[in-house]
Amino acid sequence: MFRSTHVKLDMFLLLDALDEYDGHPEFICDFLSDAMDMATSSGTRLKILFSSRPWETFKQRFENTPSIQLHDHTKGDIEQYCLGTIELQAGFASTVLRQIVPEVTNRANGVFLWVKLVLQELISEGLGGKALDGLKSSLDSIPSDLHNYYARTVQRIPDDLRWNAYVIFEATALSEETLVIFDILVALRCSLQSTYQGCKEILPMVGRHMKSRRSVFHSGQLFSTRGFKHPFKSIDNQMKGDIVSSTGNLIDITPIGKYLIVQFTHQTVKEFVHSPDFKQLVLGHRATQTKENGHTFLAKSFMTHVAFVRSTSYIRMYQAAYHCLMHEMTTGYSLKSFIDSFPERYFGNRYRLGKVHGQLSFAVWSGLQLYIEETLRSDIGAIKKTKEKLMPPSFYPKVTYERSSALLHLLFQNGYTIQQDPRAFQRVLDHPFNTHLNIDVQEARAALLIANGWDANTRVWKLNLSNPILGSRPLHLAKTLGLTRCLLEHGARVNELNMFGSTPLDSLFKLWVMWDDIEAWHTAELLVRHGGVFKTTKISTWEEALTDFEESGFDTTLLREYSSRIFS
């Protein structure tokens, strides 16, 4: 639309809070500049109005662009907000508090959030009986910078509530999903436990504390457990107040529909929690001794939840795996002792999708390399002796190919063999649930298995009913140059026939239009160099493919030279 020359358009973009974009601010700056440049040479008239905190990147890139400073135009609004808030909340202290409104307005610098937080503090002190001079002294002690204000706030949290504050802040900051109040309560209780049994015992206690009888929540959804029900309407104000006060009013409990959502009062609070000095500010001398973070607390609570709830969704199971993985990646420690405290049946019953049967296979599926390494340190023969199948058809989706490959190499280096899981290659090459994988990743894992002893000529039974290719060899099914090369290097028979009488070269050209051109060309050359021939492919299909290769700029000299032999 920005480049359109055929249609004349008038466009007006309103972009709020550019400073809250998760990526680099330079990206947003480039987008705005490029949009204006494109519109200048097109039929589009473009105007953009954006807002942001005065970050240096934005100030430098748009220093010659017309702008306004909001704080120069919001003093009246802030003053009215202060007076209205005091009138509604301050009761008998209203008269005294109204006298300091001008100073609050002058110091606000247009930041309503700062005003809101300061008023909460001053109203609380006014209701506590503090006189005007005391309130002025309190206001003078409040930093104008939000980061410093947050630091002051957490340092004023009573010592006996600091751990709760740390857990709530960390869990809220590091959760991928919106948390409800039940999630926070369970995370708080589980944070003090080191085993599944300890966590399991506190879950019913949380339920009773929430005054209910038969369900728990997961990401804003109700679902059943054994024995209770916790509708949000039954949660008393005291419980909400405990969470808010434990965090110095920097966390809000917000009703959305039937649910109570836990969230930061503002994006800047989340940024503060992610800052390097946050842990030290909250925990003081305990910070250096504390390995746990939000991923730790959520891993424990979600794993416990999965065990306790009969009908847990796969989303919750994936959340448990995600936070176990992220705990390792962010702390440098494993959760081995906690994971090992679960009964083995827990994994087989709950993680069927990942072909998980116990602690080791759960660790492999979840990408928990530190868990595997710690297991080997305590028992060097653990991988050789296990009866668990450690070759998952696919990994948890957040596990990168590099991490999963390193894990599989670790297993093979420590004695894992074909005999422990004879059908692993079949599952990897034909797994019905691996749609999150791209073909390159899937076949690279298959190649890794071949390189570690799986038979390159094993019969693979395809189970996809829309394309039944029963009893084919891996070379017929390979869709990448990498797997094709690996199979040939490990003895795959280049002219083996499948049940349709086709060779691997036939199979390639039957579906060549679905391949990437360069991949198909390289693979065709590789098969031909190894003596590959056609049995069922028509000459017209061959010629069409070669013409397409040539139009894409590929040299087909070798393929054309071998034409007479290929059509045997």
Give the model confidence (pLDDT) of 275-293 as tens digits: 999 999 999 999 999 999 9
Which parts of the chain register pLDDT below 70?
Answer: 1-6, 22, 71, 204-238, 309-313, 349-354, 430-437, 462-471, 568
Give the model confidence (pLDDT) of 345-386 as tens digits: 888 765 555 578 899 999 999 999 999 999 999 999 999 999
Task: Provide, for the chain, the percentages of residues in helix, strand and coil under a 3-state DSSP scheme, each rounded to the nearest 5.
Answer: 60, 10, 35
pLDDT for 524: 93
pLDDT for 226: 33
d(Cα 457, Cα 259) in Å, to the nearest integer? Answer: 56
d(Cα 157, Cα 162) in Å, to the nearest integer? Answer: 6
Secondary structure E strands in 424-497 = none
Q: What is the pTM of this model?
A: 0.78
d(Cα 93, Cα 85) in Å, to the nearest integer? Answer: 12
Give DSSP secondary structure letters for 340-405. Answer: HTS-HHHHHHH-GGGT--SHHHHHHHHT-HHHHHHHHHH-TTHHHH--S----SS--TTS-HHHHH
Give the model confidence (pLDDT) of 189-215 as tens digits: 999 999 999 988 877 665 554 444 333
Provide the H-helix boundaries in 414-438.
Answer: 424-429
Written as six digits, the tokens of 357 are 């049967």
Given a contact cutoff of 8 angstroms between Cβ atoms, the answer to whether 214 and 229 are in contact is yes
d(Cα 153, Cα 117) in Å, to the nearest integer? Answer: 10
End-to-end CA distance of the chain: 55
d(Cα 21, Cα 474) in Å, to the nearest integer? Answer: 46
Angstrom CA distances, 517 to 31, 185, 441, 514, stand at 33, 55, 18, 9
Given a contact cutoff of 8 angstroms between Cβ atoms, the answer to whether 189 and 202 are in contact is yes
Half-sphere exposure of 36 (CA within 13 A, CB side): 10
Given a contact cutoff of 8 angstroms between Cβ atoms, the answer to whether 279 and 290 are in contact is yes
d(Cα 71, Cα 144) in Å, to the nearest integer? Answer: 14
Half-sphere exposure of 254 (CA within 13 A, CB side): 12
The H or E element containing residue 267 is helix 267-273
Number of other CB atoms surrounding residue 97 within 10 Å: 26
Residue whose entry in the numeric block shows the structure tokens 């802030």: 78
The H or E element containing residue 103 is helix 101-107
CA of residue 142 relative to chain centroid, distance: 36
Given a contact cutoff of 8 angstroms between Cβ atoms, the answer to whether 411 and 383 are in contact is yes
- Beta-carbon contacts of 329 under 8 Å, excluding residues fewer than 6 positions away, are none
